[in-house]
A and B are shown apart, each in its own frame.
Chain A
Amino acid sequence: EDQVTQSPEALRLQEGESSSLNCSYTVSGLRGLFWYRQDPGKGPEFLFTLYSAGEEKEKERLKATLTKKESFLHITAPKPEDSATYLCAVLSGSRLTFGEGTQLTVNP
């Protein structure tokens, strides 16, 4: 059974304080690893797809990396508007299996 574990569950940062979120996964036949951002009361918003170990993708202050067992979402010099829940998911077959998310709060 596919499993995704995200850590930490919650993270509080000061504006400008860089950090990383972790996503560990166990999957039979990884077809892609996805990062989403979810704001309260909204659906998840797509950020990145990673397909193979060593791959990296960047978008503004976010950079996602992938190894054979985990992925990291690095947040550089975060701003209050980066506050959200960040979800990691693995694609196996036709389904995405999500982790429980990391709730990020960035204080001004």
Chain B
Amino acid sequence: DAGVTQSPTHLIKTRGQHVTLRCSPISGHKSVSWYQQVLGQGPQFIFQYYEKEERGRGNFPDRFSARQFPNYSSELNVNALLLGDSALYLCASSLVGTEDSPLHFGNGTRLTVT
């Protein structure tokens, strides 16, 4: 069975540009979450979507936005990129949006902002 897939795997952008990251959840999973992981730190929560609705948002500026599509795939958009946005962006999916369903992570998109 395919796990969570993310694209692209690596990306280099310039300050001020915008970026779109994509995620396909495990088949049958309806909840998608996004996390940012800076090198040497644990992942930080950005968004959770369940059944195409935003169910949670972390402490990130409005430059970060996301959406979930009818097929449960998701996009994370970041506008006006800053150097500090350089990180590994992880997508995770789960069956439902509750504690009974652990998150399964993809291998991430490595974003470098120069």
Binding site for B on A (CB under 8 A): 4, 31-32, 34, 36, 41-46, 49, 51, 87, 89, 91, 93-101
A4 to B104, CA, bound (A): 20
Q: Which residues of B contact A93 (CB under 8 A)?
A: 56
State the majority secondary structure of interface residues on B.
loop
A34 to B42, CA, bound (A): 13
Binding site for A on B (CB under 8 A): 4, 33, 35, 40-45, 48, 55-56, 58, 90, 92, 97, 99, 102-108
Q: Which residues of B contact A44 (CB under 8 A)?
A: 43, 90, 105
The smallest C-beta distance from B13 to any residue of chain A, in angstroms, reads 20
Q: Which residues of B contact A101 (CB under 8 A)?
A: 41-42
Determine if A94 and B42 form an interchain contact, defined as CB atoms under 8 angstroms apart.
no
| Contact (A49, B45) CB under 8 Å given A43-B4, A43-B107, A93-B56 | no
Number of interchain pairs (Cβ within 8 Å): 59
A2 to B24, CA, bound (A): 29
State the majority secondary structure of interface residues on A.
strand
A4 to B58, CA, bound (A): 16
**Closest residue on chain A to residue B58 by CB atoms:** A95
Determine if B107 and A42 form an interchain contact, defined as CB atoms under 8 angstroms apart.
yes
Determine if A45 and B105 form an interchain contact, defined as CB atoms under 8 angstroms apart.
yes
| Contact (A94, B108) CB under 8 Å given A43-B4, A46-B103, A101-B42 | no
A95 to B97, CA, bound (A): 10
A4 to B41, CA, bound (A): 12
Please name 18 pairs of A and B residues whose Cβ atoms are closer than 8 Å in the assembled complex, sorted by A.
Answer: A42-B108, A43-B105, A43-B106, A43-B107, A43-B108, A44-B43, A45-B105, A87-B43, A91-B99, A94-B97, A95-B48, A96-B35, A96-B43, A96-B45, A97-B45, A98-B35, A100-B40, A101-B42
Determine if A99 and B42 form an interchain contact, defined as CB atoms under 8 angstroms apart.
yes
A41 to B108, CA, bound (A): 8
Q: Among the interface residues A43, A46, A97, which one has the most CB atoms of the partner chain B within 10 A?
A: A43
Q: Which residues of B contact A87 (CB under 8 A)?
A: 42-43
A41 to B105, CA, bound (A): 12
